């Protein structure tokens, strides 16, 4: 029998954030996933796409113009649950084009490390136009595919989903509260935006910080204090819960210099979250990572064509939106079931659902200027001074103390979380100038009495197609994480004196996708021992790697 509110000692809304759960998904804008959440007929002040004539121009140099002769692509509702596929560009250079419509002539059809200064940077003081999404996608698709895309291929960047297509996320937004002006912190990709969620900066110098590469920057130089360090210093508890069998944590990778001594103790599988939630044993701060890597269930667009120029890697599930929805449902079910009379329960715990960055998917609301985390710091990677943010992402707050159907129109960014925790938990001063300027979110707990979790109405996830990675199709390539991370991690392993197989020194050695994925599981086991396959499953991985290594030194055909 579940415990009711009256049996749990949570007296009032002042305890709403005694515990905090944060889950961060990947690479979707607010318009893309929540743009159809509310329309004018709903009586809400919500900045979505319904009732607006939103479109982007098609550049004159595009070979395949819109068939209606308009020269534009309008926002539309499609039925492709894997769009945009191939993945859209997410790095600083792509975001500049998307937000400001600037595409330097020398960077047309560029990708990867081919971009040249000034990296499509806008003129000083330029106003965002939000009209370069189609232009950037055509340019990037040409790099990815080796030819210019057709109209149908590039138009998908303007597809936005309906609540019926994404029922769990939209259902939670309607049952609880949604922020319609929540911006990511950096006009670029994953690592730096996740770093801002937990550190209010990303230590941009000396080697990087504006892009995921080079990986060595994050392993060696991102030394900024994190929320995890601050919590420990003030006697509070935390864990990072990781879903998936890859065995790695992006939170740990991004904050390696500060957190590596906690990899063996504080980074645990998501199944442990479900146990801790049910028993009331959640820490003060719980960071949730969905499966962000091969076979990802994180809403991320299909990434297989964006990893290696001219090659499609079979590392994507049929729809990471559907997989992400299924994981979010699983997380919400665990949250709703938190009825322990002691420790963490649904009445003293808040769930914040967020994203790292929009990943190049369309949004119509321009971002504004922001203070640099360190005003005295010199220019960072690509000459960026971290004085403007990226554009909007979905953000939803779940709590019985939140008014159902609430829409929060105030401007927020990822550092609003840190601003809130510093305010409510008495854990010291701000981290950087960025969270000093961020608006806390504690005003959302406006109910005098909590809602009853048994009455919460949230639709169930749509079915998720079965999927298995196609190793044969990916032979002689690298896995999603492996392409970026494996060389740097092997170098680290050598520096630490960890034993490595002699095959790595064989002149015929070639890193296949199969070997990269399974070898990284073994390597990551040394780094994050509680993650990835355990017991007999792990023994099976070791046997597979032994065979993979034997195959990897056979001369390539």
Any domain includes 461: no
pLDDT in the model for residue 481? 41
**Residue 545 included in any domain:** yes
In sequence order, what are the residues at sequence separation of 6 or more whose Cβ sits closer than 8 angstroms to the Cβ of residue 294? Answer: 246, 315, 469, 479, 480, 481, 517
Neighbours of 539 (CB within 10 A): 11
Residue 289 neighbours by CB under 8 Å, 6+ apart = 23, 24, 240, 241, 242, 243, 249, 250, 251, 270
Same domain, 426 and 395: yes
Q: What is the pLDDT of residue 502?
A: 80
Low-confidence stretches of the chain (pLDDT < 50) are 1-6, 307-308, 311, 471-483
pLDDT at position 11: 66
Judge if 74 and 117 occupy the same domain.
yes
Last residue of a domain, one of 158, 191, 214: 158
Cis peptide before 450 (omega within 30 of 0): no
* pLDDT for position 540: 84
Sequence-separated (6 or more) residues with CB below 8 Å from residue 62: 138, 148, 154
The whole-number pLDDT of residue 1 equals 34
Q: Are 364 and 491 within one domain? A: no
- DSSP code for 392: B
Note the pLDDT of residue 485.
Answer: 52
Same domain, 177 and 46: no
What CATH code is carried by the domain that includes residue 437?
3.40.720.10
Domain boundary among 401, 417, 452: 452
Q: How many CB atoms lie within 10 A of CB 205?
A: 14
132: left (phi over 0), alpha (psi -120 to 50) or beta: alpha
**527 and 482 within one domain:** yes
Are 359 and 494 members of one domain? no
Q: What is the pLDDT of residue 497?
A: 77
What pLDDT, on the 0 to 100 scale, is given for residue 474?
Answer: 46
267 plus 401 within the same structural domain: yes
Does any domain span residue 17?
yes
Structural domain range at position 502: 473-552
Say if 50 falls within a structural domain. yes
Same domain, 311 and 241: yes
Same domain, 154 and 167: no
Question: What is the residue whose two structure tokens read 């949730």?
Answer: 288
Residue 463 domain flag: no
Residue 464 lies in a domain: no
- Cβ atoms of 395 and 444 closer than 8 Å: no
Residues 171 and 300 in one domain: yes
Domain assignment present for 68: yes
- Does some domain include residue 178? yes
pLDDT of residue 312: 52
pLDDT at 556: 64
Residues 398, 293 share a domain: yes
Triad 420, 424, 426: Cα angle to 5°: 110
154 shares a domain with 169: no
Give residue-wise pLDDT tens across range 87-96. 999 999 999 9
Q: Which two tokens stand for residue 370?
A: 């922001």
The domain tally of the chain equals: 3
């Amino acid at each position: 029998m579940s415990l009711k509110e009256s049996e749990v000692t949570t007296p009032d809304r002042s305890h709403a954030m005694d515990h905090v759960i944060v889950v961060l998904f990947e690479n979707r804008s607010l318009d893309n996933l929540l743009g159809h959440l509310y329309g004018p007929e709903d009586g809400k002040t919500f900045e979505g796409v319904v009732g607006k004539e939103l479109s982007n121009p098609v550049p004159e140099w595009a070979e395949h113009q819109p068939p209606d002769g308009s020269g534009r692509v309008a926002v539309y509702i499609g039925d492709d649950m894997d769009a945009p596929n191939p993945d859209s560009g997410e790095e600083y250079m792509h975001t500049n084009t998307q937000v400001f419509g600037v595409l330097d002539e020398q960077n047309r059809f560029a990708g990867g490390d081919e971009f040249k200064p000034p990296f499509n940077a806008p003129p000083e003081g330029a106003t965002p136009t939000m009209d370069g999404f189609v232009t950037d996608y055509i340019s990037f698709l040409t790099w990815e595919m080796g030819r210019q895309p057709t109209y149908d291929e590039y138009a998908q960047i303007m597809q936005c989903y309906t609540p019926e297509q994404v029922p769990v996320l939209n259902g939670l937004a309607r049952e609880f509260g949604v922020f319609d002006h929540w911006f990511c912190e950096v006009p670029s990709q994953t690592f730096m935006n996740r770093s801002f969620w937990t550190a209010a900066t990303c230590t941009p110098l000396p080697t990087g910080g504006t892009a995921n590469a080079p990986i060595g920057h994050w392993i060696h130089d991102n030394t900024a204090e994190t929320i995890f360090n601050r919590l420990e210093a003030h006697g509070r508890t935390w864990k990072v819960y990781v879903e998936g069998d890859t065995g790695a944590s992006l939170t740990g990778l991004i904050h390696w210099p500060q957190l590596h001594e906690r990899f063996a103790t504080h980074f645990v599988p998501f199944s442990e979250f479900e146990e801790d939630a049910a028993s009331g044993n959640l820490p003060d701060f719980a960071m949730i990572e969905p499966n962000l890597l091969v076979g990802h269930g994180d809403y991320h667009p299909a990434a297989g064509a964006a990893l290696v120029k001219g090659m499609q890697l079979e590392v994507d599930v049929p729809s990471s939106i559907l997989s992400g929805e299924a994981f979010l449902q699983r997380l919400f079910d665990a949250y709703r079931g938190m009825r322990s009379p002691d420790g963490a329960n649904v009445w003293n715990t808040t769930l914040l659902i967020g994203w790292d960055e929009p990943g190049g998917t369309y949004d119509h609301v321009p971002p504004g200027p922001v203070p640099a985390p360190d005003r005295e710091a010199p220019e960072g990677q690509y000459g960026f001074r971290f004085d403007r943010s990226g554009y909007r992402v979905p953000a939803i707050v779940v709590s019985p103390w939140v008014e159902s159907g609430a829409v929060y129109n105030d401007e927020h960014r990822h550092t609003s979380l840190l601003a809130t925790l510093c305010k409510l938990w008495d854990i010291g001063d701000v981290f950087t100038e960025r969270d000093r300027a961020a608006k806390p979110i504690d005003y959302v707990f406006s109910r005098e009495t909590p809602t009853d979790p048994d009455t919460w109405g949230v639709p169930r996830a749509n079915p998720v197609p079965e999927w298995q990675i196609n190793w044969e199709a990916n032979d002689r390539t690298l896995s999603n994480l492996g392409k970026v991370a494996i060389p740097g991690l092997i170098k680290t392993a050598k520096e630490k004196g960890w034993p490595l197989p002699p095959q790595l020194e064989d002149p015929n050695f070639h890193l296949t996708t199969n070997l990269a994925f399974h070898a990284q599981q073994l390597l990551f086991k040394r780094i994050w021992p509680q993650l990835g396959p355990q017991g007999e499953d792990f023994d099976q991985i070791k046997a597979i790697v032994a065979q993979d290594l034997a195959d990897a030194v056979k001369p390539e055909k």
